[in-house]
């Protein structure tokens, strides 16, 4: 177990944890977006998707616990790296610098991460931890998006999420040593496509829901 403690305490160990949990979140986001696209099929399609998901029972609970643990590791490790980076001046550890040049995404990772955390708490309180016995999940989201403030908060948060993953996606490949010069342009392009899919895919849903319901 000693090697595990040493690994977690080292800078590269923390970067690996960030990369691994970050990839897991990218997977979750792809799944969540794919499921949410059923909203375009109307209330019945979305409610039926949600029912099928909940029918998975204990599997969903296990996935939720995994997601929560990964979220805690990602946030706590990210905050530790951010703090170490701040206190490591005047000579910063080179691993913490973006080898791909400073971008909006790389310069704002801790801040965009904290905004996503605030969004997640808001999101779960509104859509997850609510009494669904007398209503449907579509009804819950449709009434939320009648409020322009909700639409604004969601669009803003989706732009921030897209900026966060635009750097995180590429950075995770770099940390895992998968940034061979030959594949880098493809990885960067995949990162751009992925972040656009998150920003536009999720961001347009509240607008669509408010127009159609």
Among residues 70, 150, 154, 170, which is the contact residue for ligand HEM, using CB under 6 A? 154
Q: What are the angstrom distances between the C-alpha of 13 and each of 10, 69, 145, 156, 195?
A: 5, 17, 41, 32, 26
Closest distance of CB 101 from ligand HEM, Å: 26
Backbone CA torsion sign across 191, 159, 108, 7: negative
Interactions with ligand HEM, residue window 168-207 (CB under 6 A)? 202, 205-206
For 10, how many CA atoms within 13 A lie in the half-sphere containing its CB? 10
Interactions with ligand HEM, residue window 39-68 (CB under 6 A)? 50, 64, 67
Written as six digits, the tokens of 110 are 């801790």
Among residues 115, 141, 151, 165, which is the contact residue for ligand HEM, using CB under 6 A? 141
Closest distance of CB 116 from ligand HEM, Å: 5
- The CA distance from 64 to 69, in Å, is 9
* DSSP one-letter string for 117-132: HHHHHHHHHHHTSS--
- The CA distance from 139 to 137, in Å, is 5
> Is 127 a binder of ligand HEM (CB under 6 A)?
yes
Among residues 11, 32, 110, 139, which is the contact residue for ligand HEM, using CB under 6 A? 32
Among residues 123, 184, 192, 197, which is the contact residue for ligand HEM, using CB under 6 A? 123
Nearer to ligand HEM, 123 or 188 (CB): 123
Nearer to ligand HEM, 81 or 151 (CB): 151
Which among 155, 152, 128, 156 has a CA at the least distance from the CA of 140? 128
Binding site for ligand HEM (CB under 6 A): 32, 36, 50, 64, 67, 116, 120, 123-124, 127-128, 137, 141, 154, 161, 202, 205-206
């Amino acid at each position: 177990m000693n090697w595990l403690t040493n690994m977690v305490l080292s800078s590269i160990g923390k970067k690996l944890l960030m990369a691994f949990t970050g990839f897991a979140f990218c997977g979750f986001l792809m799944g969540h977006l794919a499921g949410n696209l059923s909203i375009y099929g109307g209330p019945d399609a979305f409610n039926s998707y949600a029912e099928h998901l909940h029918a998975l029972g204990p599997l969903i609970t296990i996935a939720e616990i995994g997601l929560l643990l990964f979220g805690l590791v990602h946030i706590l490790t990210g905050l530790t790296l951010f703090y170490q980076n701040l206190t490591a001046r005047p000579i910063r550890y080179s691993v913490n610098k973006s080898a791909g040049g400073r971008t909006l995404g790389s310069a704002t990772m801790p801040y965009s991460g904290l905004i996503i955390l605030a969004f997640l708490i808001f999101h779960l309180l509104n859509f997850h931890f609510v009494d669904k016995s007398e209503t449907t999940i579509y009804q819950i989201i449709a009434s939320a998006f009648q409020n322009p403030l909700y639409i604004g908060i969601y669009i803003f948060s989706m732009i921030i999420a897209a900026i966060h993953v635009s750097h995180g996606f590429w950075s995770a490949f770099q940390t895992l040593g998968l940034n061979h010069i030959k594949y880098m342009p493809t990885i960067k392009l995949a990162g751009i496509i992925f972040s656009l899919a998150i920003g536009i895919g999720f961001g347009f849903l509240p607008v669509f829901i408010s127009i159609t319901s």
